[in-house]
Chains A and B, each alone.
Chain A
Amino acid sequence: MRPLPESRKQPVSKYTADRNIPGAFEGETVTRRRFMVSTTHVAGGVATAAILLPALGFAAGTPIFERAPVIWTPVGKPEDFPDDDYVPRVITLTQGIGEVGKSTVYMRRRNPSIDDVAGAPAPPPTDAPVIAISSRCMHLGCPVRWTSAAQRFICPCHGGVYGFKGEVSGGPPVRPLDHFYTRMRNGQVEVGPRYSVNSQFRRFPSFRDPGQPLDGIGQYLYPGRLSTPKNP
């Protein structure tokens, strides 16, 4: 086979004036046809973006960037709750959607012999003297049930089991049960926003979804979100 020639065509000058294009300007390198084509492409791109970007922002903006409001639900006096057992209370997580927006919390009074052991992190300073534990399983979010006889929280979906303080004692959950901030108003305990804890019960105010571990690298792999309610 014969080798191909170095260049089969004469190299074309980049200046339109050298290519005998009528009406070419001195130093012009872009032909008018090329200029019109790229202008049309840019205009089409701008028009498409003008429709697509607002639509995407509309679909994703509020869910990801808008903070949920803080809702406080009164659940009773501190004396209503035992300090060695949990009682269920219903609170509102989302307003305006009826039963769907409600959730069960398990309440007990603070017990110094259980909660104030060495190494346990201090409770939030504004908290009422109660513990409010979420019924949301930390495997994938099914509702756990407090089983008093076994002193365990048990999840019906995939067999998650938690101990008295909400720590994982078996099954697939990746971290202890979430807690809720509480406060005293007019002698009533009120339950407010949720917060997550890791296995050392360190507090993570922007609560994480179930299935997201918060120990070690987990706290960086599953960052806090902008959509959770503001810290009290």
Chain B
Amino acid sequence: MKLPTPPVPKRFQDTPARPGGPKPAKPLEQVQEGGIHVAGWVDERTSLSGGVRWMFFRKVPKGTNWFYTLGSATMFAFLSQAITGVFLAMYYTPSPTQAYESARHITNDVFLGEFVRGMHKWGSSVMVILIFLHMGRTFFFGAYKYPRELNWIIGVVLVILTFVMSLTGYLLPFDQRSYWATIVAANINGTGPLVGPFLSDFLRGGAEFGATTLSRFYAIHMMLVPGLIAALIGAHLYLVAKLGTTAPPWLRADKDEKLREERV
């Protein structure tokens, strides 16, 4: 059954396609065209595509294997910590009288709170384990040698910053374990000769565990160190892309047949 065409004026009607001309684009092709158009618009104004190709389509040596994924695994563990951390901060109160109660509230009352807090808690151990495995891979594959020494140094700073995150994050639940662990950690810092007493004062925000100790640790944990880690990961990745990755040590370089002939 065909409905009668409504009386649309001629100028609003679609013109019929010219016979023999190009076929009209199908919806899927239209979407593809749209995507290419947007990407082209951005690239024309930023020249980003060259950098993206430089970063993602680089050559990797023969023998690259699963051990080479430990670095990016660590980075994704950090990203997971960053995302869950931001959302935990929405419910957490860094005050000595309310911190424990707000952490309890996240776990017991907030929808999915136990899950997100658990991701952050266990994810921190995952990140420490992965960063150690990544460091071990780099060491045993000899990937810290020339010209990659600077990248090793940046990596060591990243390990230390990860430990700072672990230390400062440990206080935040503010239960007995966090409190006494932080007392012990501040006093270990205090055993450094000459500067130790002032260092532990700086950490605690005074001679005793005080009103501002928790907020100091919170500010270091969620503002200062994450920014540093993100910036250093950027530098680390830049150097990886710039210098390339190493082949595994059990792989010998291919001998060039021509060179062998000439040596005779």
The reply to whether A212 and B197 form a contact with Cβ atoms under 8 Å apart is yes
Quote the shortest CB–CB distance from B224 to chain A (angstroms): 10
- Tell yes or no: B173 within 8 A of A by CB: no
Contact A94 B210 (CB under 8 A): yes
- B150: min CB distance to chain A, Å: 24
A227 contacts chain B at the CB level, 8 A cutoff: yes
With contact pairs A211-B190, A221-B193, A222-B193 given, residues A63 and B184 touching in the complex (Cβ less than 8 Å): no
- Interface check B201, CB cutoff 8 A: yes
| A142 (CB) vs chain B CBs: closest residue | B180
Which of B184, B191, B194, B207 meets A157, CB within 8 Å? B184
Closest B-chain residue to A227, C-beta based?
B207
Q: Which of B183, B190, B193, B200 contacts A142 (CB 8 A)?
A: B183
Nearest A residue to B211, CB-CB: A97
Residue of B183, B205, B206 touching A140 (CB-CB under 8 A): B183
The distance in angstroms between the C-alpha atoms of A229 and B191, with both chains bound, is 21
Which residues on A sit within 8 Å (CB–CB) of B179? Answer: 100
Q: Which residues of A contact B212 (CB under 8 A)?
A: 63
B187 interface residue (CB < 8 Å to A): yes
Identify the closest chain B residue to A224 (Cβ): B197
Given A63-B201, A98-B97, decide whether A212 and B191 contact each other with a Cβ distance below 8 A.
yes
The residues of B that contact A97 with a CB separation of less than 8 Å are: 96-97, 210-211
- Is B96 a contact partner of A100 (Cβ separation < 8 A)? yes
Q: For the complex, give the distance between the alpha carbons of A207 and B208 in Å.
A: 10
Docked complex: B209-225 residues within 8 A CB-CB of A: 209-212
CA–CA, A56 and B200, complex, Å: 16
Does residue B76 face the partner (Cβ distance < 8 Å to A)?
A: no
- Are B96 and A98 neighbours in the complex by a CB distance under 8 Å? yes
CB of A209 within 8 A of CB of B200, answer yes
A-B pair count, CB < 8 Å, reads 93
A100 and B190 CA atoms in complex are apart in Å by: 20
Q: Contacts of A140 on B, CB cut-off 8 Å? A: 183-184, 187-188
**Measured CA separation A110–B206 after assembly (Å):** 32
Task: Report chain B residues within 8 Å CB of A210.
Answer: 187, 190
What 0/1 readout, one digit per residue, does chain A (157-196) give for beta carbons within 8 Å of chain B? 1000000000000000000000000000000000000000
Cβ of B198 under 8 Å from chain A: yes
Tell me, yes or no, whether B204 is within 8 Å of chain A by CB: yes
Q: Are A68 and B208 CB-contacts (below 8 A) given A60-B202, A63-B202, A209-B190?
A: yes
Chain A 65-103 near chain B by CB (<8 Å), digits 1 or 0: 010100000000000000000000000011011101100
As a 0/1 sequence over residues 213 to 256 of chain B, the CB contacts with chain A under 8 angstroms (1 = contact) are 00000000000000000000000000000000000000000000
A202 interface residue, CB < 8 Å from B? no
CA of A211 to CA of B186, assembled, Å: 10
B190 CB contacts on chain A under 8 angstroms: 209-212, 222
Q: Is B85 an interface residue (CB 8 A)?
A: no
Contact of A141 with B183 at beta-carbon distance under 8 Å, contacts A64-B198, A221-B193, A222-B193 already known: yes
Is B123 among interface residues, defined by CB-CB distance under 8 A?
no
Q: Once bound together, how far apart are the Cα atoms of A89 and B187, in whole Å?
A: 24
Query: Which residue of chain B lies nearest to A138 when distances are taken between CB atoms in the complex?
Result: B187
CB proximity of B186 to chain A, nearest CB, Å: 8
Is A198 interfacial (CB 8 A cutoff)? no
Q: CA of A128 to CA of B62 in the docked complex: distance in angstroms?
A: 80
Extra A-B contacts (14), CB below 8 Å, given A97-B211, A140-B183: A63-B204, A63-B212, A64-B198, A64-B202, A68-B208, A94-B208, A101-B209, A101-B210, A140-B184, A209-B191, A209-B200, A210-B190, A222-B196, A225-B201
